[in-house]
């Protein structure tokens, strides 16, 4: 292989254009080889993209304009599904529940994982042990987390209320009282923050030590160093965690579905845990209202997109990237 | 293969470029050389706080495990050591539900999902990092863009595809989509591949190696850490998934273990009188294999997360 292949411009085959020497046969063969190789290796993704992404996106858009129950052909109904959504009290409820959960879950997750990462960063040799312990819950299948939620937060003898009892607090019925269902789910969700802690710890470890050394010489204390150096230096990863977890929390499903909704012949449900994707899932696969569910999916997409864009905009004021002038 | 890959031997996890997140794998692994810390009040407080946190993170496992050895009436007594120790719950679960079959189904799905997604994603990642062609960056941008799409949008048409192929009710839809790679893993592996030097591949080409040999015999072995991380991440994702089994599996004989656990919660919980001991024991059986996998691949999990910033 000749050296020309390592230059993208040469391989892109503009060899014959003005100002460039004509392409030699060998070069053309190389270019051909590169393209053939690329097509061979990219073919799984190309097929997958067309069949499992592009077509589903387009077809989902079409389905959202139809009435479709899988058994009979989709019937075109225009914007009816979207009009129905606007009047559906359950959609409003599901959106409210989902926002409530996100607004509570994401900030708590960030604050707690930051606190734990800062502690771990001070832990010296034993950090590895604690890091492992913190990550363990992340390996628990979400369906089992749903079960743990029912058990630990149980109003009748659950561990959480027993611990609260030690401090003289009479714990609520977390799993049945509509006012306490969502806070309970949020608290349980915080059990699995291990990967955020690991990401932030990695970020903390990559802050240059010189910055701290010179701050110390200037007489800055622990809090000042944390506020003036640490937080700005890891604002990128913090922002990343905020965005990724906001998106994930809009799509929260398994834990709440396991704990608060019966599938199949069972009908148990608790409206306080009706998150958006749970509502969408039930419309699609329990009531076979695929057209309506597709419209719901598009609303979710638009909401996530808007929220992410707002976060990106706001972050410009707070997030500091290395090498950037401020 | 008589290819000299000498210089490339050092291409390991530490070469990974950060994926937008400045996290250096090396630094999350071992500890930086430092003098032995003195035991100050501050350090004692730090360790105490970490100890309390560890208790909160680990105790639910202990609780669950201990409850699974208690008779029904004592599940909620919150005692660490059961008053009455019994293994009857395990025998009962095994009789009440086809646990062995569920485990087998889960193992089949999990292994197929992890192996297929690793090979296909590695292929695509290699296609994006080794070959030069017009529009490469734009196409890779499209790969990344697909990561942003919420699963809910493609969920229903994807179901219709498997339905029209007659695969609903079988295990196929739970893994076969992985034959086409997954954006996140393509992204992850490409980072590794781009750290590889070009020389050994050009030398091998001169020796007459074809594209597939370059990929399979040289590139993939050189990026083993990335392969291991991908395998482990997907093992975990496939093992713990509930939504797809809920959508695609109909008959209890095809259930994966999380789907089976959900059916037990419905049957022995919401269906009538709560049989907590069955649910608790099934939860332990669902969780333990993941814990074993975690301890086997611990370092890779933690490095993979520090590097890629997987959600959570």
The whole-number pLDDT of residue A19 equals 47
**Poorest-pLDDT segment among A178-182, B29-33, B304-308:** B29-33
**Poorest-pLDDT segment among A47-51, A137-141, A260-264:** A260-264
Query: Looking at the predicted structure, is the pLDDT value of residue B25 above 60?
Result: no
Query: Looking at the predicted structure, is the pLDDT value of residue B64 above 60?
Result: yes
Mutate to test the interface with A, among B14, B19, B20, B23 (most CBs of A within 10 A): B23
Residue B72: pLDDT band with limits 50, 70, 90: confident
Question: What are the tens digits of pLDDT across the range A269-302?
Answer: 889 999 999 999 999 999 999 999 999 999 999 9
Q: How far apart are CA B267 and CA B263, in angstroms?
A: 6
Closest chain B residue to the Cα of A50, Cα to Cα: B180
DSSP codes, A173-230: -TTT-HHHHHHHHHHHHGGG-HHHHHHHHHHHHTS-HHHHHHHHHTT--HHHHIIIII
The whole-number pLDDT of residue B131 equals 93
Residues of B in contact with A199 (CB under 8 A): 21, 23, 305-306, 309
Contact: B242, A248; criterion CB under 8 Å: no
The whole-number pLDDT of residue B7 equals 30
Nearest to B50 among A56, A120, A162 (CB): A120
Nearest to B54 among A40, A130, A251 (CB): A130
Give the distance from residue A86's alpha carbon to the nearest chain B alpha carbon, in angstroms.
19
Nearest to B280 among A126, A151, A293 (CB): A151
Residue A319: pLDDT band with limits 50, 70, 90: confident
Residues of B in contact with A51 (CB under 8 A): 161, 180
Q: Does the beta carbon of A5 lie under 8 angstroms from any beta carbon of chain B?
A: yes
**Poorest-pLDDT segment among A15-19, B100-104, B147-151, B207-211:** A15-19
Contact: A1, B202; criterion CB under 8 Å: yes
Question: What are the tens digits of pLDDT across the range B108-136?
Answer: 999 999 999 999 999 999 999 999 999 99
Residues of A in contact with B47 (CB under 8 A): 123, 126
Of the candidates A284, A278, A285, A287, the one whose C-alpha atom is nearest the C-alpha of residue A254 is A278
**Residue B278 class from Cβ within 10 Å (0-12 exposed, 13-18 middle, 19+ buried)?**
buried
The whole-number pLDDT of residue B22 equals 32
Contact: A119, B286; criterion CB under 8 Å: no
Upper half-sphere CA count for residue B183 (Cβ side, 13 Å):
15
The whole-number pLDDT of residue A34 equals 85
Give the distance from residue B290's alpha carbon to the nearest chain A alpha carbon, in angstroms.
6
Percentage above 90 pLDDT, chain A: 73
Count of pairs with CB atoms under 8 A, one residue in A, one in B: 334
Give the distance from residue A101's alpha carbon to the nearest chain B alpha carbon, in angstroms.
15
Cα dist from A53 to A248, B32, B149, B161, B225, whole Å:
19, 45, 9, 12, 29
The whole-number pLDDT of residue B75 equals 87
A131 or B309, which is more confident: A131
Residue B6: pLDDT band with limits 50, 70, 90: very low
Give the distance from residue B49's alpha carbon to the nearest chain A alpha carbon, in angstroms.
8
The whole-number pLDDT of residue B120 equals 98
The whole-number pLDDT of residue A235 equals 93
Residues of A in contact with B89 (CB under 8 A): none
A115 and B261 Cβ atoms separated by less than 8 Å: no
Contact: B157, A56; criterion CB under 8 Å: yes
The whole-number pLDDT of residue A326 equals 45
Which bin fits A78, alpha (ψ -120 to 50), beta or left (φ > 0)?
A: left
Report the pLDDT averaged over residues A159-179.
95
Q: How far apart are CA A81 and CA A63, in angstroms?
A: 10
Q: Spell B175-195 as b/e; 16+ CB within 10 A means b.
A: bbbbbbbbbbbbbbbbbbbeb
Give the distance from residue A186's alpha carbon to the nearest chain B alpha carbon, in angstroms.
13
Question: What are the tens digits of pLDDT across the range B169-186?
Answer: 999 999 999 999 999 999
Residues of A in contact with B132 (CB under 8 A): 5, 8, 11-12, 34
Question: What are the tens digits of pLDDT across the range B290-304?
Answer: 999 999 988 888 888
> What residues form DSSP beta bridges with A75?
A67
Q: Does the beta carbon of A137 lie under 8 angstroms from any beta carbon of chain B?
A: yes
Percentage above 70 pLDDT, chain B: 86
**Poorest-pLDDT segment among A190-204, B68-82, B276-290:** B68-82
Contact: A144, B261; criterion CB under 8 Å: yes
Residues of B in contact with A194 (CB under 8 A): 57, 312
The whole-number pLDDT of residue B232 equals 94
Cα dist from B19 to A80, A105, A138, B16, B307, whole Å:
43, 25, 21, 9, 7
DSSP codes, B206-260: HTT--HHHIIIIIIHHHTHHHHHHHHHHHHHHHHH--HHHHHH--SGGG--HHHH
**Alpha-helix residue ranges (DSSP H) falling in chain B:** 25-28, 41-67, 88-96, 99-130, 136-148, 151-164, 183-193, 199-206, 211-213, 220-222, 224-240, 243-248, 257-265, 276-308
The whole-number pLDDT of residue B300 equals 87
Query: Looking at the predicted structure, is the pLDDT value of residue A23 above 80?
Result: no
Give the distance from residue B306's alpha carbon to the nearest chain A alpha carbon, in angstroms.
5
Report the pLDDT averaged over residues A300-308.
96
Contact: B242, A277; criterion CB under 8 Å: no
User: For residue A87, what are its two tokens?
Assistant: 């009047």
Query: Looking at the predicted structure, is the pLDDT value of residue A252 above 80?
Result: yes
Percentage above 90 pLDDT, chain B: 69
């Amino acid at each position: 292989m000749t050296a020309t292949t390592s230059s993208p411009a040469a391989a892109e085959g503009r060899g014959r254009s003005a100002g460039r020497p004509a392409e030699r046969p060998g070069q053309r063969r190389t270019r051909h080889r590169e393209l053939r190789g690329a097509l061979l290796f990219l073919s799984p993704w190309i097929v997958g993209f067309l069949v499992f992404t592009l077509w589903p996106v387009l077809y989902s858009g079409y389905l959202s304009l139809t009435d479709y129950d899988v058994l009979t052909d989709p019937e075109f109904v225009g914007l009816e599904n979207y009009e129905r959504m606007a009047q559906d009290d359950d959609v409003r409820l599901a959106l409210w529940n989902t926002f409530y959960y996100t607004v509570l879950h994401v900030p708590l997750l960030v604050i707690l994982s930051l606190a734990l990462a800062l502690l771990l960063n001070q832990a010296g040799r034993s950090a590895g042990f604690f890091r492992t312990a913190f990550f363990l819950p992340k390996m628990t299948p979400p369906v089992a987390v749903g079960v743990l939620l029912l058990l630990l937060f149980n109003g009748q003898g659950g561990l959480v209320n027993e611990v609260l009892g030690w401090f003289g607090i009479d714990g609520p019925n977390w799993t049945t009282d509509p006012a306490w269902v969502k806070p309970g789910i949020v608290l349980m969700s915080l059990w699995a923050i291990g990967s955020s802690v690991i990401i932030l710890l990695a970020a903390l470890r990559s802050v240059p030590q010189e910055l701290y050394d010179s701050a110390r010489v200037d007489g800055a204390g622990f809090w000042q160093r944390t506020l003036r150096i640490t937080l700005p230096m890891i604002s990128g990863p913090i922002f990343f965690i905020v965005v990724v977890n906001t998106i994930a929390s809009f799509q929260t499903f398994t834990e709440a579905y396991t704990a608060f909704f019966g599938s199949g012949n069972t009908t148990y449900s608790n409206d306080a845990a009706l998150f958006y994707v749970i509502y969408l899932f039930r419309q699609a696969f329990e009531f076979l209202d695929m057209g309506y569910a597709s419209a719901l999916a598009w609303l979710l997409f638009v909401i996530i997109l808007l929220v992410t864009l707002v976060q990106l905009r706001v972050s410009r004021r707070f997030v500091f990237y290395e090498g950037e002038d401020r | 293969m008589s290819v000299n890959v000498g210089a490339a031997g050092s291409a390991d996890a530490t070469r990974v470029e950060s994926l937008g997140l400045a996290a250096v794998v090396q630094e999350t692994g071992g500890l930086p050389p430092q003098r032995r810390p003195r035991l100050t009040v501050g350090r004692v407080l730090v360790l105490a706080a970490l100890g309390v946190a560890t208790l909160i993170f680990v105790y639910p496992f202990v609780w669950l495990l201990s409850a699974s050895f208690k008779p029904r009436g004592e599940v909620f007594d919150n005692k660490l050591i059961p008053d009455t120790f019994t293994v009857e719950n395990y025998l009962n679960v095994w009789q009440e539900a086809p646990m062995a079959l569920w485990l087998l189904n889960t193992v089949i799905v999990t292994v197929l999902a992890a192996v297929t997604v690793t090979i296909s994603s590695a292929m695509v990642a290699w296609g994006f990092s080794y070959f030069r062609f017009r529009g490469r960056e734009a196409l890779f941008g499209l790969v990344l863009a697909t990561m942003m799409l919420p699963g809910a949008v493609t969920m229903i048409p994807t179901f219709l595809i498997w339905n029209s192929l007659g695969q609903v009710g079988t295990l196929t839809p739970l893994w076969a989509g992985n034959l086409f790679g997954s954006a996140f893993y393509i992204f992850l592996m490409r980072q590794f591949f781009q750290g590889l030097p070009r020389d050994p591949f050009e030398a091998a080409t001169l020796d007459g190696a074809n594209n597939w040999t370059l990929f399979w015999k040289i590139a993939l072995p050189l990026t083993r850490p990335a392969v291991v991380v991908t395998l482990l991440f997907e093992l975990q994702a496939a093992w713990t998934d509930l939504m797809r089994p809920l959508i695609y599996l109909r008959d209890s004989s095809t259930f994966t273990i999380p789907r089976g656990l959900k059916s037990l919660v419905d049957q022995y919980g919401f269906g009538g009188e709560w049989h907590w001991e069955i649910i608790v024991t099934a939860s332990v059986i669902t969780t333990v294999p993941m814990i074993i996998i975690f301890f086997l691949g611990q370092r890779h999990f933690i490095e993979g997360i520090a590097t890629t910033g997987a959600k959570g």
